[in-house]
Amino acid sequence: MQAAVDAGLQENNPFRGLRVPRQEGQSVGRRPFNAQELDAVFASPVYGKGLRPRGAGGEACAWLPALGLLTGCRLEELCQLRVRDVEADPVHGLLIHIRPDGLTARVKNNASIRVVPVHAELLRIGFGRYVDGLRTAGGEWLFPALTVDRFGKRSGNWSKWWGRYLRHAQGCGIADRTLVFHAFRHTFKTLCRAARIPEDVHDALTGHSNGQVGRHYGNMPVDVLVKAMATIELPVRLPLINKD
């Protein structure tokens, strides 16, 4: 209505000054996946039967949950990755760079710009082979089959599919609506704490900023991140995704 007033299409905005009261009660928080729920995800048809449903973004439907679990990255951070963002470092191994590119790749804040070492479990199930195949083929995007939504996000359409697949009895069969893709990020933080990784280190892995001024001085050494990632243990064994 205010836009119509500003454009000269209407004399006044009858809703100006209207305040909508907040709903009473606490909002529903997010929680991590437990071991049984992770089993349900990674035994579902995408993994157990190699299913690649329409709208699931090709190989993204298998790799995004695994990466979410073992990197703690936000969904859009993973969806906007290019092949060049996954670097084979001669000293530290395979590294994922979360960074803006001045074009389509964006980050939430400065703390989100970071390097995430690739966990050994991701290598075991074939992530390195998957990336090498894309690189050899001259591919640009890590998940080329993802489609951009009307807001320009590469995660938007996939997220809708994932929500349906997570709940459906023929998918993961998890009915709890507090569990969304972001729950993988909560799960990763839980795994970091279980591994006794210092808070500043797992904040550096996930791109969290707690507001302490000292946290913004200097950089977290990559070898510290690599050693921390190596201590993280999963409560489930992931299935092979790229077997070639």
- For 127, list phi and psi in degrees, rounded to 5: -65, -40
pLDDT tier for residue 44 given thresholds of 50, 70 and 90:
very high
Give percent above pLDDT 90 in the chain.
71
CATH topology of domain 30-208+220-230: hpI Integrase; Chain A (1.10.443)
Instruction: Express each pLDDT in 192-231 by its tens digit.
Output: 999 999 999 999 999 877 655 444 555 789 999 999 999 9
Find the mean pLDDT for residues 79-95.
96
Q: Where are the domains of the chain?
A: 30-208+220-230
Instruction: Express each pLDDT in 174-203 by its tens digit.
Output: 999 999 999 999 999 999 999 999 999 999
Place of tokens 């709903």: 23
Task: Decide which of 26 and 112 is more confident.
Answer: 112
Contacts of 190 (CB under 8 A, 6+ apart): 32
Statement: residue 112 has pLDDT above 50: yes
| Closest by Cα among 100, 95, 92, 99 to 114 | 99
Q: What gap in Å lies between CA 44 and CA 52, rounded to an integer?
A: 11
Which DSSP symbol is given to 82?
A: B
